[in-house]
Amino acid sequence: MVRPVARLRPFTDPSMDRHLRRVIPHVVRRQAIRRKTRHCHSRFYARCAHWSFHADAPTSAFRWARERWVLSGGACLLVLLTMLGIPAWASIIHHHDSVQPVTRETLALQLPPAPKESARPVVATWKTVEVQPGQTLSEIFQGQGLSATDLARVMASGKDTGALKALHPGDQVAFLTDAKGRLQGFRYSPDAATQVTLSAQADGGMQAQVVALPTERRMHFAHGEVEGSLFAAGEKAGLSETMVLKLADVFKY
């Protein structure tokens, strides 16, 4: 069964004087209207009380007793916090003002002396020079920036220096000089099986060292017929002049 819902109508009390309505405060008048409406529509309020959060709220007159206690407690709490906070802030500010300024001082750090780099020994290298056609030993020494005194020291060593007086194009000699260009060594080969190395000494002389070069012996055979001249026949057979002279000495030709 569906019950009809009552419709709310604005409440007007005809017995209430207009002058009296103007005198009564607005809040009191609103409370009076609320009580009158609840009384007239009690069945509706009983059925729909859950629609409002304040359906069962007391309608007693407004009192300031509880609010005074709340305000008094808040004021006391504020005063207490102020009394506790101000000394703390004062001590912090005083401590900040009493801190002395920081001064910086630079101190020299004593470090051990850096190790000196040892001078690297200069590795001397040999420079090989090939004899050119028409070039003499003196010209070769001058081309290497050496003086006639250096040439005289080499020739005074007395070790197979005769071969140096008869250099041929294509022969090779080697020089060893220091960083200042001074002669420290000289090397040459008087023949195909020997190598002579001259080393400079403290007294200005040169010390010779003879080294035997590895050689390979090969045998060659040549034949020919002497028709008129031994030299012509030897040249035709591919013999050198030295070999032809040795043959002439053998045959007494």
Q: How many CA atoms lie within 13 A of 43 on its CB side?
A: 6
- The string of pLDDT tens digits covering residues 128-176 is 999 998 888 899 999 999 999 998 988 888 767 778 888 888 889 999 9
- Residue 20 above 70 pLDDT? no
Percentage of the chain exceeding pLDDT 70: 70
Give the rounded distance of the alpha carbon of 80 from its chain centre.
63
- Residue 129, H or E segment: strand 126-130
Average pLDDT over residues 211-238: 81
DSSP 62-123: P--HHHHHHHHHHHHHHHHHHHHHHHHHHHHHHHHHHSPPP---------PPPPPPPPPPPP
Q: Where are the chain's structural domains?
A: 18-51, 126-212, 224-253
- Residue 248 above 50 pLDDT? yes
Closest by Cα among 209, 210, 206 to 156? 206
- Residue 99 above 70 pLDDT? no
> Burial level of 52, CB count in 10 A (0-12/13-18/19+)?
exposed
Angle at which helices 241-251 and 230-237 cross, to 10° = 130
Nearest-angstrom CA–CA distance, 153 and 179: 20
pTM of the entire predicted model: 0.42
Q: Is 173 helix (H, G, I), strand (E, B) or coil?
A: strand
Residue 47 backbone dihedrals phi, psi, to 5 degrees: -80, -35
Average pLDDT over residues 218-242: 81
- Residue 242 above 90 pLDDT? no
Nearest-angstrom CA–CA distance, 104 and 63: 69
Choose which CATH entry (1.10.1370.40, 3.40.640.10, 3.10.450.350, 3.30.465.10) describes domain 126-212. 3.10.450.350
Tokens representing 182 are: 């001074």
What local confidence, expressed as pLDDT, does residue 11 receive? 46
